Each structure stands twice: as C-alpha cells, then as structure tokens.
Chains A and B, each alone.
Chain A
Amino acid sequence: MSLADDLYRETILDHYHNPRNHGAIEHPTAQVEGVNPLCGDELTLYLNVKDGKIEDVKLTAKGCSINTASGSMMSELLLGKSVEEANQIVELFKKMMLDKKEEVVLPDDLEDLEALRGVKKYPVRIKCALLPWNTMLEGLGNALKSPTLD
C-alpha cells in the first residue's frame, strides 16, 4: 500500500490541480449544495438539463484532493449524457466504491474512474470521493422535477 499508488495517483492529482468544469452556471435548471458534516467539505453543483440531457455542468468545491478530483472526473464523464445514463453511471460508481464483496468492472468509457478505486483502501476517505456523486443524484432528481425552461 502506498499513497502514490492508491490515493494520490497521477490522474487524481491532474484533476485536483486543474479541476474541469469548475465554476457556476448563471441560470441553472438545478443547483444543489452538498455538505460533508464530518470534515466540513462543501460543494455547489450547477446543472443545465434540456430534453432529458445534461447540457452543462459546473462545480465549485471547497474540499480535499479526493473530493475535488472525484467531482472533476464526474463532471467530465456526465456532460452530454442523458439523465437516465447519468443516473446509471452514478449508481455504478457508488457500487464500485461501497460494495465490499463484488468487484465492479467498469466499462471502457468510464476507465478514468479506475483511479479512484484505490480510495477504497482508506475507508474514511470514501465519503470524500462520494460527495459530488451523491450531490449529482439529488441534482438530477431536482432537474427532472423543475419546469422545463423552453
């Protein structure tokens, strides 16, 4: 077990140092605050959903490296996906991080997320990786409920 292999892998550090889709959306279809009360980490997720598709996603996060990198990877992967596909990807990622028995195999197009698998070896940090994804679930639900803008 080494930190560089498990937690601070190159992919994670890249997303941490240069988080993708960082910022805010002025008139989002959904805006959700995610909080991790144990460590005080906070993030705001902005979504633009049109015709059941994620047209834009932005994040502003005040959190640790794992939290920031996980949110960045998530935004990159879910941008352009349908709400249904996005929900499936979120559930698959959560299963990968939380399932203690079954080793979840990721499809090729999600291979970036492989970098986060090492976080499982540090149980207290799993919640850091999951915060953006749980916030996304809530955001997707809200986006579907909100009246269509067009």
Chain B
Amino acid sequence: MSKLNVEQIRKDFPILQRKIAGKQLVYLDNAATSQKPRSVIDALTGYYEGYNANIHRGIHTLAEEATDAYEAVRETVRDFIDAEHTHEIIFTRNSTEAINLVAYSWGNANILPGDEIVLTAMEHHSNLIPWQRLATERNAKLVFIPITEDGQLDMEEARKLISSRTKIVAATLMSNVLGTINPIKELAKLAHEKGAVILVDGAQGVPHVKTSVRDLDVDFLVFSMHKMLGPTGVGILYGKTELLDAMPPFLSGGHMISSVWKDKATWTELPWKFEAGTSNIADVIASGKAIEYLTALGMDNVREHEIEITRYALQKLNELGDITIFGPKDATLRGGVISFNVDDIHAHDIGQICADAAIAVRAGHHCCQPLMRDLNVMGTARASFYIYNTKEEVDLLFEALKEADKVLGHVACR
C-alpha cells in the first residue's frame, strides 16, 4: 500500500463530491488537467479579497503584499525542481508558451541553415509545431527519435541521430499518450557531448515524477501548473542562467525594460526580462499552494501511489480481452496514463459510454497526430490517474468498458 491517505486527500478536493445524473464523478482525465484542492481555490479568492494589486510597481501595502506573494512562488518552484537560482524560473501562460519562448528567442539566435533539431516520435503538438516553424524559417532539419514496439524511446537510434549537426534536443519527460517516462539524463548527456542543448517538456512528467533539473542536467524545462493541482494560466520555464542571459526578450512592453527612450530601450535583468506586461498574479500565487500540497505529500509517495494504481489498472483492463493498451507493460517504466482501444470501437463512443457512467476519460488524438499515425490508429481512449484516484474507480471504468464492448463491439464491416 502506498503512503498516501487517499481518503483524506479526496476530502481536500471539493469537485470530487460532484454527482452527474445521480452518479459519483470518477475523474480519470488528469493528463488533460488535474482537479484543484481547497487551498488552491482559497488562495485565489484570498488574493482578490485581501490584497489584489499590480506587482513590482506600487509603493502601497497591497502592492507590496502581492509582490512578495508572487515572488515567493518563484522560490517555491525553484526548490521544487531543484534549480540553482530563483531567477532561472520564468512564469509564462502555459508550457506551450514556454516552448515558444525558447523556440523564438533561443532558436532565432542559434539555429542556422542545415542545423538539426532532434525531437521524439511521441511529442505533444506543443513540442513539435514551434520547432517545425523554426526549422522552416531557418532552413533547419527536424530529426525524430523513433519508439520501440512497447512505446519506449529507441535509445540506440538516439545515439545515432544526436550528432555534431544537432543544436537542440527537445523531448518529453513523460508521454501524454503512452505514459512512457523517457531517459532524460541519458539524452541530456548525449546532447551535451555533441555541444547541443536540451529542452524537456515536463507538462506530463513534472506533476507525477520528482524532477531535479540539476540531477538531470537539462538546459530548459517547461511545465504547466494546471496539470499539478494549480490553476490554469500558469506555465513555468526553467533555463540555465547563461542561456537565459544570452537570449533576447520574447514578448516586449511594460515591466521587462530597464530604461526607455522614444527610439530605443534596454532590458531589465532575469527573470523579469521574459515577463512582459502584467503577470497572472492570482494564479501564480495559487500555484504556490499547489506545489506546497504536493511537497507535503512527497513526490516519491505520489509516484508510488501512481505505480500501484497503474499496475492494477493494466492488469484489470487486460481482463477485457478485446482491449489494446499502448505503451510499456511495466508500470515502473510509465506514468499513470493509459491509452487504449476496445475492439475497434471508436474512442468517442467509448468516451460517451464512460460519460454516461459519470466517468471522465479523454478520447481522440491527444494532440499527438504523428504518434497516432505511427501507432496506426485514428485515436485512442485514455484514462489518467492522480493522487486522489482509487482502485474502485478503476473497477468502475472496467465495468463501463465492458458495457461499451457489449453495446458497440464486434462490428461487421469496417
């Protein structure tokens, strides 16, 4: 048994009391966004009711309180991902914006015609499209590390593909489809040996796996607070100081300047150089509470709980017989994300029958169309777990899938 007291945890999440058409909500769409504990929700209203003010500029009490609370979260984040400096933490809107920041700012300054950008076959569109655009603009080449039969990164190929032509490796820490946890430390070593940098998309991984940027030795890490108990609208970019210092600003305007004349301006220092305009103050402050919540549970315990529930779900869902489960079979090699198809039934039909049982799962291409083509499917259904999910909920999913198979399975001509 994991050390998490799931029953106690569930009481902290008001939405888990929700009933849909008389049935208790079963929330298994955590890879899309997680639910929020009371402390996070209270932090939002606490800010708006108690000390709402714009940060960094005001001299008055509210502005000082808001600035302190906002900047304190930067330190909380630094500690959470074990970065060396607080100024290496940049607040963005989401992971996508953080990747775009690097692709534009670092990319335009560093990518030359003929350079190679190495990605993996399992990237979310957010860690693909910005690099596609950059490669097209700079006449650079995209290279993809393929996946093995059971959905792991083909590291033998990676060793061949990461070469002296490689300028950056951009890889996900955890696949939002396959659940695969990638060997980032090894990829970082390969990249650095060839003089390239590495960006890690931690949107799926950081909420579930203890992540130390210093241990992994990554140059950039991005993730989104809304997938880890925080509110929507806050992404994090971590970057090594020397890289961030050398990069030009991404967005420009108020707040990111040092001195401004009519015809020119100078930029302020890190991290504010990359935070133009009024920040998402309330959501950043509430994000601090989300990290505090996870830290109190202990990320090792979070991981242990998820391995346990994933192992149970893999075994239970396989009892269906007609099911195809994608990704590694071993729960210790993957996160709590399980993509599957049942007997050729369209993923949206599976989603609908689950919804009828008040079970929230995701259905579709999960923003990974190239990976869907590699897997030779149009889409999949996906169940994804977090700290408040139980084995009983997995059982309810199993029953709903049995029902789907009964109603819609065994199709004559497809």
Contacts and interface: CB of A to CB of B under 8 A. Distances in A.
Interface of A: 1-3, 7-8, 13, 16-19, 22, 39-42, 62-67, 122, 125, 128
Contacts of B260: none
A66 B378 CA distance: 16
Interface string B213-225: 0000000000000
A65 B349 contact: yes
Contacts of A67: 346
A125 B364 contact: no
A67 B21 CA distance: 26
B348 A17 contact: no
A8 B408 contact: yes
Closest 10 CB pairs of A and B: A64-B346, A3-B356, A64-B348, A65-B349, A22-B413, A40-B378, A64-B349, A18-B412, A8-B407, A65-B408
B408 A13 contact: yes
B365 A40 contact: yes
Contacts of B408: 8, 13, 16, 65
Contact of B364 (A2, A8, A18, A39): A39
A64 B410 CA distance: 13
Nearest to A124: B348
Interface residues of B, number: 21
B411 interface: yes
A128 B348 contact: yes
B40 to A, nearest CB: 28
Contacts, number: 48
Contacts of A42: 378
B407 A13 contact: yes
Contacts of B346: 41, 63-65, 67
Nearest to B379: A40
Given A8-B407, A13-B408, A18-B412, A125 B352 contact: yes
Given A3-B356, A40-B365, A40-B378, A17 B349 contact: no
10 contacts: A3-B353, A13-B408, A17-B411, A39-B379, A40-B364, A40-B369, A40-B378, A41-B378, A42-B378, A62-B378
Contacts of B411: 16-17
A121 to B, nearest CB: 12
Q: Is the interface of A mostly helix, strand, loop or mixed?
A: mixed
B412 A17 contact: yes
Contacts of A8: 407-408
Contacts of B378: 40-42, 62
Contacts of A64: 346, 348-349
Given A2-B356, A67-B346, 12 more contacts: A3-B352, A8-B408, A16-B408, A16-B411, A18-B412, A22-B413, A39-B348, A40-B369, A40-B379, A62-B414, A64-B348, A64-B349
Nearest to A122: B352
A2 B407 CA distance: 14
Nearest to A38: B364
B278 to A, nearest CB: 33
A64 B408 CA distance: 10
Contacts of A66: 349
Contacts of A125: 348, 352
A1 B348 contact: no
A114 B311 CA distance: 45
Nearest to B346: A64
A80 B365 CA distance: 38
Contacts of A3: 352-353, 356
Given A17-B411, A22-B413, A1 B352 contact: no
A75 B345 CA distance: 22
Contacts of A2: 356
A65 B353 CA distance: 12
A144 B378 CA distance: 33
Contacts of B372: 40
